[in-house]
């Protein structure tokens, strides 16, 4: 066998293994159209087809907001396409400095630091913070996002995983570590796959009782919750008690980038020590300007948040009435359970091919095996007609594939 063939086989086998487990991923090639979201164009080898997107993390459609797009376009024309360097070497442009000021103000912290993505902000932020604390024990929620797990791993510190949102387990681990040992609790506010929320205030109580520092990922909450869109901690009146707030500019804010907001001393230390901040080129000025525009807009305007919650509630009502087995979440995330990887993929394929609705199947390892689902994210732009169309299409797909409806619906059908 040739040298090239020998190596190619490793990669081909790696892909075959995924296919055998039915978790080989196929991407939808989409073209979003400003002014028409959630309608989009899907490109396939057979041509173009119209689709309605029901699984976007551009939760409020800010990615197409006129002011945000305008800020991006005018800044690119004035300042060019790229940043031209790392933050330290000529890449600290004025729009990113302004963006950091906007984010510090959003979270009412001394300072904020922007990274090229939310993933990077967690991976390099958590690892750097934990490495700067002598003998730090990291306490991490079992359902934390991969970027946080990566940060915990890269820290190389002792770690203890507490059962998801389990305060007793967390306190047990804190007690075992003792008050004296430095500890960092890392958790999320909104967990994006189950759509549930952490008991933020009670985690802060424990942190204060046992002398731990707190780090929260508000990626699925910033822009969406709280009077100024600073997240669930703001909504719950707990923001001031959290030491480090991490967020993304890529979901509800509709752009790209991640950040942390914290006391000046923490931000300055991360700025000075985090490899994932230091050794990479700054986000372009146009993206920073667009993100700042989006943050500023959502700080002042509640209309998007209110309409979002309204359409989410209407979607949940429609799916429950149709007997579809959604998880009843306290958030904007609507998980529709399938609990089988092949059926989940088949349901998604049929929604797309027959009904023109795009909902990506969520399979292992994103969620545990046996909890495969369709993760539906209504936005303010999913109106009553689109919601009714979604419910009808799902009922057709559920019936076609023989998927179970909820018990109440099955009883009604039998009567």
**Catalytic machinery residues:** 251
CB-facing half-sphere around the CA of 367: CA atoms within 13 A: 22
Q: Which of 140, 248, 348, 360 binds ligand PLP (CB under 6 A)?
A: 248
- The reply on whether position 189 binds ligand PLP by CB under 6 A is no
CA angle 380, 383, 389 (to 5 degrees): 130
From the CA atom positions of the chain, what is the Rg in Å?
Answer: 22
Length in residues, the chain: 415
Q: Does 68 bind ligand PLP (CB under 6 A)?
A: no
Quick check: 377 binds ligand PLP (CB under 6 A)?
A: no
Question: Could you count the other beta carbons within 10 Å of the beta carbon of residue 199?
Answer: 16
Residue nearest ligand PLP, CB atom distance = 118
b/e map 162-182, b = 16+ CB within 10 Å: bebbeeebbbebbeebeeebe
Asked if 217 interacts with ligand PLP (CB under 6 A), we say yes
Figure out which of the listed residues 75, 127, 140, 147 binds ligand PLP, where binding follows CB under 6 A. Answer: 147
Residue 258, interface with ligand PLP (CB under 6 A)? yes
Task: Decide: residue 66, CB within 10 A, 0-12 exposed, 13-18 middle, 19+ buried.
Answer: exposed
Least distance (Å) between residue 202 CB and ligand PLP: 20
Stretch that binds ligand PLP, among 15-23, 213-221, 313-321, 365-373 (CB under 6 A): 213-221
Mark 98-137 with x for binding to ligand PLP (rule: CB under 6 A) and - for no binding: -------------------xxx--x---------------
Q: Confirm if 62 and 34 have CB atoms less than 8 A apart.
A: no
Q: Which stretch binds ligand PLP (CB under 6 A): 162-170, 212-220, 233-241, 305-313?
A: 212-220
Provide the token pair at 391.
């419910």
Query: Distance from CA of residue 311 to its chain's centroid?
Result: 19
- When asked if residue 250 is in the footprint of ligand PLP (CB under 6 A), the reply is yes
Measured between its terminal Cα atoms, the distance across the chain in Å is 66
253 touches ligand PLP (CB under 6 A): no
| 188 binds ligand PLP per the rule CB under 6 A | yes
Applying CB under 6 A, which residues contact ligand PLP? 117-119, 122, 145, 147, 188, 192, 217, 219-220, 248, 250, 258
């Amino acid at each position: 066998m040739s040298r090239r063939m020998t190596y190619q086989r490793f990669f081909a086998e790696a892909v075959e293994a995924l296919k055998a487990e039915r978790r080989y991923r196929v991407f939808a090639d989409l073209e979003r159209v400003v002014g028409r979201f959630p309608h989009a164009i899907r490109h396939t080898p057979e041509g173009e087809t119209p689709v309605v997107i029901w699984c976007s993390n551009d939760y409020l459609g800010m990615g197409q907001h006129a002011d945000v797009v305008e800020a991006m376009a005018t800044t690119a024309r004035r300042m060019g396409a790229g940043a031209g360097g790392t933050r330290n070497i000529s890449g600290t442009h004025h729009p990113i400095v302004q963006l950091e000021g906007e984010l510090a103000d959003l979270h009412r912290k001394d300072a904020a630091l922007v990274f090229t993505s939310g993933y990077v902000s967690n991976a390099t932020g958590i690892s750097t913070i934990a490495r700067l604390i002598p003998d730090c024990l990291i306490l991490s929620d079992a359902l934390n996002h991969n970027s946080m797990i990566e940060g915990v791993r890269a820290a190389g510190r002792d770690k203890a995983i507490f059962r998801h949102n389990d305060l007793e387990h967390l306190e047990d681990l804190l007690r075992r570590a003792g008050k004296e040992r430095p500890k960092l609790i890392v958790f999320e506010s909104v967990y994006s796959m189950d759509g549930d929320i952490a008991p933020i205030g009670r985690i802060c109580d424990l942190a204060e009782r046992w002398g731990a520092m707190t780090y929260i990922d508000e990626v699925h909450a910033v822009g969406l919750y709280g009077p100024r869109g600073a997240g669930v901690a703001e909504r719950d009146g707990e923001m001031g008690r959290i030491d480090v707030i991490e967020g993304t500019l890529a979901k509800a804010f509709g752009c790209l980038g991640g950040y942390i907001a914290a006391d000046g001393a923490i931000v300055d230390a991360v700025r000075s020590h985090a490899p994932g901040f230091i050794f990479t080129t700054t986000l372009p000025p146009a993206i920073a300007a667009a993100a700042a525009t989006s943050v500023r807009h959502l700080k002042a305007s509640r209309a998007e948040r209110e309409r979002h919650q309204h359409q989410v509630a209407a979607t949940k009502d429609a799916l429950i009435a149709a007997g579809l087995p959604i998880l009843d979440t306290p958030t904007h995330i609507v998980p529709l359970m399938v609990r089988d990887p092949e059926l989940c993929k088949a349901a998604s394929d049929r929604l797309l091919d027959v009904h023109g609705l795009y909902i990506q199947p969520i399979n292992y390892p994103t969620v545990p095996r046996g909890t495969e689902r369709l993760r539906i994210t209504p936005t303010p732009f999913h109106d009553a007609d689109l919601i009714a169309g979604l419910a009808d299409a799902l009922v057709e797909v559920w019936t076609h594939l023989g998927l179970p409806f909820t018990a109440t619906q099955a009883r009604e059908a039998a009567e």
